Structure formats: C-alpha cells, structure tokens
Amino acid sequence: MWFSKKSSSFASRVDKFWSEFGKNLDAIKQNLEDKNFEAASKMTEEALNLCLVDPTFMIGLIDGKIDLVLTPEGLKHRLLWLKFIKSRMPKEYEAKLTCTLGKPRAPRNVATIQMYGVSVDANEVMVYPNFNDKSVDMCLYNETLSKLKSEDENKAYTLSLILCDNVVGEMIMINMLGEFEIIDEPREKGVPLIDFADLIDEKFGKEASNEPLKNFMVYELEPRSNELRDDVFTGYTSLSELLNEYYDGASDTYNEAFELGINFCFLAISHGGDIQFGVDSKNKISDALQESEICEIIGEANGEMRSYIDLICFDKDELEKVTSKFSKELGTKIEICEFKR
C-alpha cells in the first residue's frame, strides 16, 4: 500500500484508524477472552492499515483491558509517528484500552529466540558493557552467534538485536544503545544478557524507557556556500541518520515516511546575514510549534544566510498555513523544504 499526498493527511488517516478500531473494541476484547487471537489480530491489522504500511504490533489483555503494542522494530524514526498515533487516541477509549510503544521486556523465563535455523538462549549470551552518560555500548559473545556471524553477518546482528529487544525492552534499546558488536572470543567481566536489564535499570532508571527519549546531538559544520543548508555552521538534531542521509544525497528515511504521507522537512528562515534576527525568529517560531498537534521539532540549525527548524510533519497543509502566518508577522521569507536533496 502507498498513500499519496493527495489522498489525505497522515493525521486524518490516524483519526480514521482510531474511529474504526474503536467500533471494534468490544469484539476484539471478546475474541481475546475466547483466545481467538487470529480474529483479534486481523481486526486490529485491518484498522491499522488505514494509516500504516505493514504495521507491526501485538494485541492482548492486561488486567481486563486491551493492550495494543505498536513496535517500531528498533528504529527511532518510526517511533516518532507511532508516538503521534498514540497521542491521537480518544480519551473515551482509556477505560478499555492501553496503547504501548515498543515491545515490553519479556518475562525472564522467555529468554530463547529461534531464527535462521539456530536457537540462542539469553542465559548463554555474555554482554561486556561500557556505560556512558546517556548510552551504553554493548559487546556480545555467544558461540552460536559468532558462528552465524561468520556465515551471514546481517542475520547474526538481526537476531541479536531482536533478542536484546525481547530481554531488555525495545524502548530501552532505542533510547540507550550506543555501539553494538558481536565478538568472536569471550572476555573477562561479562554479564549474562538475561541479567543485563537489571544493570540498565540501576544506571538509568525510568529514564531509559521513556517514549521516546530525546537525545539531541549538537554538531558544528564548516559552511560550504550560501546555498540552502550548505550555510549551516551549528545545530542540533535528535535524528542524526536523517541529517546524514540528507548531506550524503540519500533519502531512505525520508522516503519511508513520505510513503505514509508524513513529511520530514525543515523551515528555512531567511535573515540575509543578520544572524541574531535569524536566531530570534527561529526561537519565536519554535516556541509556537512546541504546542503544535501536526508536527514535532526534531532539530534546529543556524546558518550564515538562514536559520532552520527541522520537523516531522503529519499535516503539511496546516504547516503551510502556520508558516505563512509567521512569514507575514516577521516580514521575512520562510520556506518549507523537504529533507531530500
């Protein structure tokens, strides 16, 4: 399925999903109580297809309420639109439904994964962690993983990350994972993966499972020209992969969002070399957008000719109205530019 820009905004399709899903809450709950999981899953998927392509989710009952788990499959950029979906859930559903982002930590007795013809037990995977201020680097050793890595490195890392998501929790892995490596020989002072989650809790507490935790990266660049985005000398971002793709001429993250009718874009605020005016204008617009329901700020940048506000936008028509308003108020040109060369 592919959603064209002309069909409807992502925001409106999310509202359609909640309307359709809401009509079936009682039937879905009954199916779950009757252990007719296939029927419950099918009804949920049909509703989610109104706003997502090949949605990944889990549906179950917790304390008599439906629990809908939306998983970004370990990818932070997907978490941004899943968070938006959750934010649009009607309050009247709260008595019957909980919406959770990311796969929760599995029970300790569910610690084995079978994929690609092999079986790996988290009790037999050793982790050699290096804790940083807001992240943790992980080196993993397991004989089966090491052998799989020698045969197919991509399969080994895919299996390892899924196992870590299951044992540690998907949100924690997205928020806290730094470097990740499968090593070929065991080392000293390791900890079994099954116990590693306890170390995460001790080090980071509840912060680790926030949804999503905004870890902004500050960067400095040497301006290359006065052209769009090439004039940037400093900025920050919560989605470095999107920024890197833009400067490298790639667009994988952008394209995935665009297929859903979501725009990774940025506002280019012209200041003609008056950097202070550009900063003041950017700050004024940013403050206003903090309360927006149709977009979320994922970064900002200062350039020699423009200031920039980086966004994920769920309704571009509404953003165009807001941008036009600020352009008139500030008396300057403001462009909405796609995060794609």
Same domain, 33 and 65: yes
Q: Decide which of 167, 187, 209 is a domain's last residue.
A: 209
In a domain, 2, yes or no: no
Type and span of the H or E element at 69:
strand 65-70
pLDDT digits (tens, 9 = 90+) for 159-186: 999 899 988 888 889 888 889 999 999 9
Please give the tally of structural domains in the chain. Answer: 3
Strands 191-192 and 118-121: unpaired
* Domain coverage including residue 79: 10-101
Q: What is the mean pLDDT of the segment spanning 205-232? A: 85
* HSE, side-chain direction, 13 A CA sphere, residue 210: 12
Same domain, 97 and 156: no
- Backbone φ and ψ of 140, nearest 5°: -115, 140
pTM above 0.75, yes or no: yes
**In which residue are the tokens 């170390």 written?**
199
Helices and strands of the chain, counted as H and E runs = 12, 15
Q: What is the mean pLDDT of the segment spanning 6-34? A: 91
Is 307 in contact with 327 (CB distance < 8 Å)?
Answer: no
Q: Decide which of 101, 124, 140 is a domain's last residue.
A: 101
Q: Confidence class of residue 315 from pLDDT cuts 50, 70 and 90? A: very high
> Which 3 state secondary structure label does DSSP give 107?
coil
Q: What is the mean pLDDT of the segment spanning 309-317? A: 95
Strands 177-182 and 65-70: unpaired
DSSP state of 254: H
